[in-house]
Amino acid sequence: MSAQTEIILIAMLAAFACALPGVFLVLRKMSMVADAITHTVFLGIVIAFLATENLNSPWLLIGATLMGCFTVWCTESLQRTRLVSEDASIGIVFPLLFSIGLILVNLYGSNVHLDTDSVLLGELAFAPFDRVRVNGADWGAVSMWVLAGICLLNTVVIVAAFKEWKRVTFDALLAAMYGFSPIWMHYLLMTLVSVTVVASFQAVGAILVIGLMIGPAATAYLLTKDLRKMLVLAASIGALSAWLGTEIAFWLDVSIAGAIAATIGGVFLLTVIATPKSGIIARYRRLKRLRLQYGEETVLFHLLTHEGTAVQAQEAGVGTLYEHLRWKPEFADLICRRLEAGHFVRIHGGTVHLTESGRARAYRVSETLFAEQ
């Protein structure tokens, strides 16, 4: 397997692993918690290293995971005091813990390979250098196997307790009535997030981990409201964005993490614009259709109100209709042409008259208006 293929595979595995817990963070409106955890786990790694003096020790993963849970506990404890809001508590806790980690590295780890830039930005191009060798045989990059294990772990935990996740996420009170502990499920999610962050940011960096965890999940949330489909879509969008971003990075010879993050942002922006039901284009078309419908029904009701009265010629005149409705002449002309094309009105002698179908529609509009009152 070539180094380029391994880099692409590592990026896709990281995206898949991050997207699954990311869906629940987005649904719980806890996206900023991912930002906090991706930074504060650095302190857990530093403390575990200072205790073990071994960069390959499993205690680094354990320390980082515990620090992620500790971060969540600190923010929630601050929030429960009601002295600060949730976003303010996150803004207080994670810079504090992350800065303590930086200070400890500068004081005690200056001669050790604990590079803060690598933690924040990562470098996928170097991921294949750390290999798994068994009896002299090369089994591939360490990051690839670690992330594959995290993908399997996240998938198994979410699939095995899917009903519980669903109940706790959408109705914690109902879940508690069924005997599921929302608190335990909450901290299980935070543990998954912490483990995923630690496994991912060595290869892709903390900044990209946030993008991989939130971007695909937010995109999937715009496309579907079904949780199962959302999980599948988030994982698929993340993996495809990672593959496309990596290919773009090789093509342009730019940062891989930057290209992947830009691709995720581009996919999200495209979804915001072009989503069939809730996208900007769909909303514009819907508002335009409602505006035209409102204009047509207003004209029909106006004509019905003044039909057969002494002021009908004045109120329904082709050249004066817009003045009475306080519209722009162009809009009034557009509405009249649409109504005439639909055989709801006919223009005769400079006056707009209702047809039978137009009169029937005007009566329906009138009945609807008076029924609402």
Compute the residue count for the chain. 373
List, for residues 284-297, the tens digit of each pLDDT value.
999 999 999 999 99
pTM of the model: 0.80
Please give the residue that has the higher pLDDT: either 71 or 53: 71
CATH fold for the domain made of 281-372: Arc Repressor Mutant, subunit A (1.10.10)
CATH number given to 3-276: 1.10.3470.10
**113 and 55 Cβ atoms separated by less than 8 Å:** yes
Across the range 137-160, mean pLDDT stands at 85
Across the range 217-246, mean pLDDT stands at 93
- What does the block give as tokens for 4? 């380029």
- What does the block give as tokens for 117? 């830039």
Max CA distance (Å), the chain: 103
List, for residues 257-276, the tens digit of each pLDDT value.
888 989 999 999 999 998 88
* Of residues 315, 317, 327, the one with CA closest to residue 348: 317
pLDDT score of 220 more than 60: yes
- What does the block give as tokens for 202? 């060595």
**DSSP letter string, 141-182:** EHHHHHHHHHHHHHHHHHHHTHHHHHHHHH-HHHHHHTT--H
Question: Domain spans of the chain?
Answer: 3-276, 281-372
Q: What are phi and psi of 131, to 5 degrees?
A: -105, 155
**39 and 206 Cβ atoms separated by less than 8 Å:** yes
The one-letter amino acid at 130: D
Residue 353 CB-density burial (10 A; 0-12 exposed, 13-18 middle, 19+ buried) = middle
Confidence category of residue 77, pLDDT binned at 50, 70, 90: confident
* Of residues 193, 198, 100, 203, the one with CA closest to residue 154: 193
pLDDT of residue 78: 85
pLDDT of residue 111: 61
Quote the CA–CA distance of 294 and 366 in Å, as a whole number.
13
Please give the residue that has the higher pLDDT: either 59 or 298: 298
pLDDT of residue 112: 58
pLDDT score of 217 more than 90: yes
- What does the block give as tokens for 153? 């772990």
pLDDT of residue 120: 57
**24 and 189 Cβ atoms separated by less than 8 Å:** yes
List, for residues 82-137, the tens digit of each pLDDT value.
787 777 888 888 888 888 888 887 777 666 555 555 555 566 766 666 666 777 77
**198 and 45 Cβ atoms separated by less than 8 Å:** yes
Confidence category of residue 211, pLDDT binned at 50, 70, 90: confident
Helix, strand, coil share (%) of the chain residues, nearest 5: 80, 5, 15
Quote the CA–CA distance of 114 and 340 in Å, as a whole number.
75
